[in-house]
Amino acid sequence: MKNVYLFVVMMLTVVTYSQEKVIDSIKKKEKKVSIYYGGFVSFNDDFNLNKKLRNSNLPELKTSIPDFVFGLNYFGKKYSGDAEFGFLYSKSDKGANEIKQMGFNSRIRVHYNLVDREKFAFTTGLSVAYTGNEYDIFNKNNTIDLNDLEPNNNSGHVNFTNAMLYFGPSTSFYFFRKSDWNVRLNIGYEFALTRGRYDSELGSVINNIGESGNNRFVVGIVFN
C-alpha cells in the first residue's frame, strides 16, 4: 500500500496542472478537459476468500463495495476518455469479529462518441482498471497492553493484501452539459485478468487462493 500514496501525489499534481487548462477552455467556451468527482459501486462475484471465512465462522466480505473517485475527463469531436483514481472501504462483523477492506481503484476509459449533442452525449468503449486491497480481520474484544508489546504475546489480528487487473466494456451518459453541474452516469463490466492471490507483510501465506474469474459490474455517477 506504500505505492498508493506516491500514486495519489502524482494524481494530485496532474489535477493541479490540468486545472489551469480547464479554466482556459471554459473561457473559450470549449470545455474539452474537466475535473470530476463522484461515487461508484462495484458489484463483485462472490469472493473465493469468503469460502475460507465461512469455514472459520468469520464475517464475510461484502460483494457490493462503494468507492469515492476523482479524475480527469477529455471530450473531443470523436473520442473521449477518463483517467480516475478512487478509494474504497467496506466492513462487516459477526459477533465480536470484524473484517475491514480498504483499497484503491485506478481506471482509464477510452470511448467513441456515438451521440454528441448540446445537452446530452452517449459514449462507449473500453476500460482498464487496477485495484489494490488491504484486509484486516480482528476480534473487537482484544486487549492491548502497552507494557507488553511483544508480538508473540499479542494475537487476534490478521492482515493481508491482494491486487487485481480488470478489462472490459463501458458506456457513459452525459446529462445537463450546458449547466454548471454536468452529470455523467458511467456503467461497465470488468473481467478479472490476474490471479489476485493473497500476500502479507506480516508473514508467509499458506493454503493460498486467488480471485481469478471474479468479475464485477461497475456503476457510478460523477459531477464536473
For 3, list phi and psi in degrees, rounded to 5.
Answer: -70, -15
| CATH number, position 125 | 2.40.160.20
Per-residue pLDDT of the chain (224 residues; tens, 9 = 90+): 555 555 544 555 554 555 555 444 444 445 589 999 999 999 999 999 999 999 999 999 999 999 999 999 999 999 999 999 999 999 999 999 999 999 999 999 999 999 999 899 999 999 999 999 999 999 988 888 899 888 888 778 899 999 999 999 999 999 998 888 899 999 999 999 999 999 999 889 999 999 988 999 999 999 98
pLDDT of residue 20: 54
- How is residue 123 written as a grid cell? 459514449
Range of the domain at 212: 2-223
| Alpha-carbon span 39 to 32, nearest angstrom | 22
Domain count, the chain: 1
| Alpha-carbon span 191 to 188, nearest angstrom | 10
Quick one: which of 82, 72, 168, 169 has its CA closest to 124?
A: 169
Report yes or no: 104 and 86 within 8 Å, Cβ to Cβ.
yes
